[in-house]
Structure 1
Amino acid sequence: MPTTDPYRWFVYLEIALAVITFVALCFIVAPYGRHGRGGWGPTVPARVGWLVMEAPASLLFLVFFLLSGHRFELVPLVFLGLWQLHYIQRAFVYPFLMRGGGRMPVTVMGMAILFNTLNTWVNARWISEYGSYAVSWLTDPRFVIGVVVFLGGFVLNLSSDRILRRLRGRGSGGYKIPQGGGYRFVSSPNYLGEIIEWTGWAIATWSLAGLAFALYTIGNLAPRAMSNHRWYQETFDDYPESRKALIPYLV
């Protein structure tokens, strides 16, 4: 990492935000989805909120990437593909698969946009400017393991979201206990999948920027998984006792 460039301080900022977010969400439940409630100001349809807050992570990453020095090298292009695999799905596919008429506070959407802009710049700059990856990196065990972990998390995230959508058929409302897939073990396998994804990214890029994103993902999603687990237990008397919140058999 450059030692004289302000870049490193933005990486440190993201790590600090991971800690702050984790502590805050241990006391404040994020007000959207099943936890939606008033008192957070104006709202927008959840589909609009997801599209607007996630799109910068895809579009800005591409802009920052193309403006950098290693943009036409093979390994950075592979990293670009992995990043876009997640965020094109999250920004331009997932919102249009959503069912129900939920809403999202504009404040939540705005904070997500700010974080995505920071995180996108930090990671795009690393893989296409400050990082140095020879073609041989494609056979390095760190890259291979990281990509396998990333893709495994991606599949878990998508399959878990699909199970949730199928619980709410078109025209039906209310919440039900999800079954099958990762839900056999934890209450939020979709969150676990995303944590696994970005842990894989941190391994594959072998960078402090990737680690910062992985830490933020944990800080952001682990408390939410705990809140979801408590909600399920309080809402359903027959909720499986053996099911954990986030980590199978442990937490």
Structure 2
Amino acid sequence: MPNWYRLLVLLEIALAVVTFVALRFITAPYGRHLREGWGVTVPARAGWLVMESVSPLLFAILFLSGPRRADLVALVLLAMWQSHYLYRAFIYPFLLRGGRRMPVVVVLLAIAFNVLNASVNAYWVGWIGRYPVSWLADPRFLVGAALFAGGLTLHVWADRKLRRLRASTSNGYQIPYGGAYRWVSCPNYLGEIVEWTGWAIATWSPAGLAFALYTAANLAPRAIDHHAWYHQQFPDYPAERRALIPYVL
């Protein structure tokens, strides 16, 4: 593993620590938490499209330029990565309600992270990682792939549930019920954390571990903020429901 690559992975882990600490004091100003004082804004649909499209496009470019581009396992891992980001970059933004906005600074920070993250993961899968075909039967891959698929399914389902609720009310928000919302306020974030934990296990890579850590560091504080917001907005919000992890957090 080249030294420069190791440093980039360590940088992402360091960013996870910084992000977690920062987000315990500052609520990221987008979505329901959008507020003034964060500079110029752009339509949320355009912001999501621009910042999230970096990941599938850069990953594909780096992967296809690498020596593992024809390896079966590497192609499976490519398909896993793209399955998430094609949804996140090219489907999810067009399902958002019109009129929403987000600060440009959020878009730029997300682009910077996605460049780093897609690069280290694509370089591992397409250049450094060595996976024989037998890896597809390895317990680490099977467990990781199952977690990835389950997390992605939960993530997409939870997004759809929220979207339907917002479409049925004038103020845009209601208390979600049913499914995983029975136990947690943010199953979409839980799904994404499970998903990238699965990726880390399936790839068994330092890049995958760094991404899983960053995902949890980024989304756990936001789930806590969402949970507090629900309690502030809805006096009858279910008291037994947790923010992110059933019965725990």
| TM-score normalised by the chain length of structure 1 | 0.97
| In 2, Cα distance between equivalents of 1:175 and 1:160 | 14
- The answer on whether the counterparts of 1:159 and 1:181 sit within 8 Å (CA) in structure 2 is no
- The answer on whether the counterparts of 1:44 and 1:104 sit within 8 Å (CA) in structure 2 is yes
Residue identity over aligned pairs, in percent, reads 63
Quote the offset at 1:171 in angstroms: 8.1
* 2:86 aligned counterpart, secondary structure: helix
Superposition pairs of residues 128-143 of structure 1, within 5 angstroms? 128-143=126-141
Number of residue pairs matched by the alignment: 249
Q: Name the aligned partner's letter for residue 181 of structure 1.
A: G
Quote the offset at 1:243 in angstroms: 0.3
| In 1, Cα distance between equivalents of 2:105 and 2:152 | 27
Quote the offset at 1:170 in angstroms: 6.9
Superposition pairs of residues 1-251 of structure 1, within 5 angstroms? 2=1, 4-169=2-167, 172-251=170-249
Cα offsets for 1:154-204 (capped at 9, x unmatched): 000000000000012278333111111211110110000000000000000
* 1:44 aligned counterpart, secondary structure: strand
| In 2, Cα distance between equivalents of 1:35 and 1:100 | 17
Q: Structure 1 segments of 4 or more deviating over 6 A?
A: none
Cα offsets for 1:134-169 (capped at 9, x unmatched): 000000000000000000000000000000000122
| In 1, Cα distance between equivalents of 2:192 and 2:112 | 19
Structure 2, gaps ≥5 residues long? none
| TM-score normalised by the chain length of structure 2 | 0.98
| In 2, Cα distance between equivalents of 1:219 and 1:37 | 22
| In 1, Cα distance between equivalents of 2:90 and 2:172 | 25
| In 2, Cα distance between equivalents of 1:141 and 1:172 | 48
* 2:173 aligned counterpart, secondary structure: coil
Quote the offset at 1:5 in angstroms: 3.1
Q: Name the aligned partner's letter for residue 92 of structure 1.
A: F
Quote the offset at 1:128 in angstroms: 1.1
- Root-mean-square deviation (CA, aligned residues, Å) is 1.0
Q: Name the aligned partner's letter for residue 7 of structure 1.
A: Y
- The answer on whether the counterparts of 1:76 and 1:133 sit within 8 Å (CA) in structure 2 is yes
Quote the offset at 1:100 in angstroms: 4.3
| In 2, Cα distance between equivalents of 1:11 and 1:123 | 9
Cα offsets for 1:191-232 (capped at 9, x unmatched): 000000000000000011100000000000000000000010
- The answer on whether the counterparts of 2:165 and 2:172 sit within 8 Å (CA) in structure 1 is no
* 1:40 aligned counterpart, secondary structure: coil
| In 2, Cα distance between equivalents of 1:146 and 1:72 | 22
